[in-house]
Chains A and B, each alone.
Chain A
């Protein structure tokens, strides 16, 4: 019981962090069809901007400024870089953003050095929310989860319940028609891309204070975030929330389980034989827990290529 509660709690908070980072990517892909490889770089940029600002003006100013800065950079990318390659199709957009990711990473190293920087949460947030089964549960994990929930609700309401949302969705479905009705489509796209980048920046500013802020953070999380978006169904906000939670829970539970093929075979009396073979047979689930998201992606792609909540099959 203790194991199940703790693992579920850890899994959900980690899943919400994944959602926080992947929300912007989902938005950009869902509304514009651009697969933005540099998305995790905006996440890293957010953490670094927040670090730089917060060392002078305090943590909260950093958290507010970071998404604004990354949002503006995102808009600039959409305005000045993407249109140049748009007519050549998705592959070129992907390559452009991939190059951008490499450039951002090296620039960060140039300005902030190769080592993790000392970006910390304020002392006022550093306390344990509650005491459970003999261990403290840090409040900041709940804070990260809370920000993700607010982010999801706000985005979902914005897209489905407001006039802006209608225009954005119209721009995605029928850009020519929306333009004919007098909406400035390029402006809408720039705004969407900027929002996506700003969300990544906010995620970076919030999560960077909990996880170390280093030049590899984008790379490390970037791959998982792509897995989330693919599993959830490219462009589906609800899908990526579901996928994030699934990946978070699977990884969390896998760590606590010392299952192996040998144990499984032990149920039918072949345990000794399997252990004598060793290798893959005795590999514990916990030692490959980071592989689980990819296994999940493989299964989802085989069974439902459009992703859990994807529309296009």
Chain B
């Protein structure tokens, strides 16, 4: 009996203690922090940590600092699913992830199922880098938000800007990785052909980051004699392809999506000069205020995915600013609804969420590699010069028919 009284007393004390402390908002980063994609995963995690530090510097949320917990998915979907369960057990409200569409696909399904089974304890997922179309197509759902571009946005921007500057040419070649993202890129290049006034002289899909020698692909590319090569390749697949093309002395322009991945410019050297990239953000396209602030906080200018990932947290911060749970329970559905209605001003233009499929309407920056750039990449004298910033309304594509979103309010 005495023992029961003690338990009752301690639990009462615990309860009153929790009533004194408001419930903190918990953010989980489920990212590739070990394994082959560490380099990209680490950058996403950096940017989210930076963004959350901004929220906390402004007083946090719900009367408490926002907590960030990092989970290592080791670059694979099964590990990500495990880490999602752990995050739920830890009481995480919002999940961030960026590296790999496959992992994003796993997480968005996990989130959807979790929310169906646990009404009132919803979790939302902010996708920073999974660009597969199906995430806002067949798999689209209310609690998933994509804060990055997709293949059609990048390709349309590239085609528009390169055509204007006279670098597009009439013959295009598409070489991509054989999975959802690469196939999306290939389809986008086909769709944009009529608008861009080019003919597709060759298409290749190849294994993802397994190929050591790209010379045979370059031989095949050469025989098609293209002016422009569209590729969504990233990591080794882009670097090796570009180097092999440079070594063969071919005079083609590359239209890429991931040329700004750290190490690419230094490794490809002069070969990379004149090639194009379309992405979410580039320091050179702005007045530099954000870049300086980021450098002050982290020691380096924002590179690769860091810029747009920080803006995703910025948009979240703005959404949180419209809410007040008065120190009580956090309602994730309200946060998601507030985020839907948020238009966040980034240094390259406004970013807003399209309610039908939760794709963000966002500007796309097209740049090209030049010598003596304002923000040199990888410690070289080369870097990206902005060719054009395509505004969000112009870059966006129609909602996919396959998206049938179940809204909690309907």
Q: Which residues from chain A sit less than 8 Å from chain B, CB to CB?
A: 2-3, 6-7, 10-11, 13-14, 17, 106, 109, 113-118, 120, 128, 131, 133-138, 140-141, 210-212, 214-216, 219-221, 224, 248, 251-256, 284, 286-291
Contact = CB atoms under 8 A, between A and B. Distances in A.
Given A219-B36, A290-B206, A136 B215 contact: no
A287 B174 CA distance: 13
B213 A109 contact: no
A216 B247 contact: no
A216 B236 contact: yes
A130 to B, nearest CB: 11
Given A115-B39, A115-B262, A287-B204, A212 B210 contact: no
A138 B250 CA distance: 12
B379 interface: yes
5 tightest Cβ-Cβ pairs between the two chains A and B: A116-B263, A136-B249, A114-B39, A290-B207, A290-B210
B213 A135 contact: no
Given A220-B212, A252-B213, A256-B220, A289 B247 contact: no
A117 B263 contact: yes
Interface string B256-269: 00000011101101
Nearest to B304: A115
B88 to A, nearest CB: 29
B19 interface: no
Interface in B212-231: 212-213, 215-220, 222-223
B interface bracket (residues with beta carbon within 8 Å of A)? 35 or more
A131 B39 CA distance: 38
B333 to A, nearest CB: 37
26 contacts: A10-B215, A17-B212, A106-B34, A109-B38, A115-B39, A116-B239, A116-B263, A118-B380, A128-B247, A134-B222, A135-B248, A138-B248, A140-B247, A141-B247, A212-B243, A216-B36, A220-B210, A224-B212, A252-B213, A252-B216, A255-B206, A256-B220, A284-B205, A286-B220, A290-B211, A291-B207
Contacts of A14: 212-213, 215
Nearest to A213: B267
Contacts of B243: 210, 212
Contacts of B211: 289-290
B178 interface: yes
A256 B213 CA distance: 13
B236 A286 contact: no
A7 B263 contact: no
A256 to B, nearest CB: 5
A114 B38 contact: yes
A168 B408 CA distance: 74
A57 B205 CA distance: 42
Contact of A7 (B212, B219, B269): B219
B209 interface: yes
B70 interface: no
A213 to B, nearest CB: 8
Interface in B167-207: 178, 204-207
Nearest to B303: A115
B404 interface: no
B139 interface: no
A212 B263 contact: yes
A133 B222 CA distance: 10
B243 to A, nearest CB: 8
B26 interface: no
B210 A252 contact: no
B99 to A, nearest CB: 12
B216 A251 contact: yes
A211 B206 contact: no
A291 B42 CA distance: 30
B239 A212 contact: yes
Contacts of B204: 286-287
Contact of B249 (A116, A135, A140, A251): A135
Given A7-B219, A284-B205, A251 B213 contact: yes
Given A138-B248, A287-B206, A255 B263 contact: no
B240 interface: yes
B378 interface: yes
A136 B248 contact: yes
A27 B38 CA distance: 33
Contacts of A17: 212-213
Given A255-B220, A286-B204, A141 B263 contact: no
Nearest to A286: B204
Contacts of A255: 206, 216-217, 219-220
Given A131-B249, A211-B212, A224-B212, 6 more contacts: A7-B219, A109-B38, A135-B248, A137-B248, A212-B267, A287-B204
A21 to B, nearest CB: 10
A116 B209 CA distance: 14
A256 B38 contact: no
Contact of B216 (A215, A256, A288): A256
Contacts of B266: 116-118
Contacts of B240: 211-212
A2 B380 CA distance: 38
Contacts of B36: 216, 219
Contacts of A13: 215
Nearest to A11: B216
A14 B217 CA distance: 13
